[in-house]
Amino acid sequence: MKNKIALITGATSGIGKATAALFAKNGIRLILCGRRQERLEAVASELKKHTDVHLLNFDVRDKTSVFELLQNLPEAFSEIDILINNAGNAHGLDTIAEGNLDDWDAMLDINVKGLLYVSKAILPKMLAKKSGHIINIGSTAGKEVYPKGNVYCASKHAVDAINQGMRLDLNGKGIKVGAINPGLVETKFSEVRFKGDSDRAGKVYQGFTPLRPEDIADVIWFAVTRPPHVNIADLTVMCLDQASSTIVNKV
């Protein structure tokens, strides 16, 4: 795996950041993406002790930037072996009648269309060299629907469908495609969902031991280190106390 190149979207926080750290320790060269330049630089300054890091500051919704930046990578980072489609979030938790249109646009534009733009920009080179590995970060919310989760769940069901579609498209082309679907992971996810209300966000993870972002990074690492003939197609990970989106054993 040493010297392979991985591009991770959403590397400034949570699952993406933990994956970047684990990849760096294992000598994988990194292209880290996110919207917050100062966070990208803070993550990179730590990881540069272990590996080469190239930073890309873009919003996955901005298709012009996505294609321009990813089609003009510096030579040393131009041959991407692994793409981790991780950038995403929930915005709001409301019934459809009460839902906020900007929240819906954000979730569908980031979680679904952003993932498509980045994948389309990366694929030509993977196709040309007949190798590569794409991991799509889905969710248990892409496997079931929970009350008031409507549009976020729809976005993650779309990721599930895109993951299956990509695998069909790329069958026989030497490119692995798989989804990792986490349950509750304690990150900034709920703080973003509840628009900075950290008290409300903290309660989501109280009374049980949720997954940590490092747990998902370990699973991603497992997926990318399988032998060439093995593809982890679709894998759901929950903490011990979670049985489904709505059944969590809280004390």
Query: Among all residues, which ones are annotated catalytic?
Result: 152
Which whole-number Å values give the CA distances from 111 to 59, 74, 103, 151, in the listed order?
11, 27, 12, 11
> Measured from the CB atom, is 9 or 51 closer to ligand NDP?
9
What is the end-to-end Cα distance of the chain in Å, rounded? 42
Place of tokens 């997954």: 211
Contact between 86 and ligand 8X3 by CB under 6 A: the answer reads no
> Measured from the CB atom, is 60 or 166 closer to ligand NDP?
60
Smallest gap, in angstroms, from Cβ of residue 20 to ligand NDP? 10
10 binds, among ligand 8X3, ligand NDP, none (CB under 5 to 8 A by kind): ligand NDP
Contact between 12 and ligand 8X3 by CB under 6 A: the answer reads no
Collect contacts of 43-50 with beta carbons under 8 A, ≥24 apart: 43/11, 43/12, 43/17, 46/21, 47/20, 47/21, 50/24, 50/25
> Measured from the CB atom, is 216 or 232 closer to ligand 8X3?
216
- Other C-beta atoms closer than 10 Å to the C-beta of 111 total 28
245 binds, among ligand 8X3, ligand NDP, none (CB under 5 to 8 A by kind): ligand 8X3
- Chain residues binding ligand NDP by CB under 6 A are 9-16, 34-36, 39, 59-61, 86-89, 110, 114, 137, 139, 182, 184-185, 187-189, 192, 213
- CB neighbours of 37 closer than 8 A, spacing ≥ 6? 55, 57
Residues 175-214 that bind ligand 8X3 (CB under 6 A): 184, 189
102/40 Cα distance (integer angstroms): 26
220/77 Cα distance (integer angstroms): 21
Residue with smallest beta-carbon separation from ligand 8X3: 139
92 binds, among ligand NDP, ligand 8X3, none (CB under 5 to 8 A by kind): none
> Measured from the CB atom, is 122 or 238 closer to ligand 8X3?
238
Place of tokens 């901005």: 62
Number of H helices, E strands in the chain: 9, 7
Binding site for ligand 8X3 (CB under 6 A): 139-141, 149, 184, 189, 245
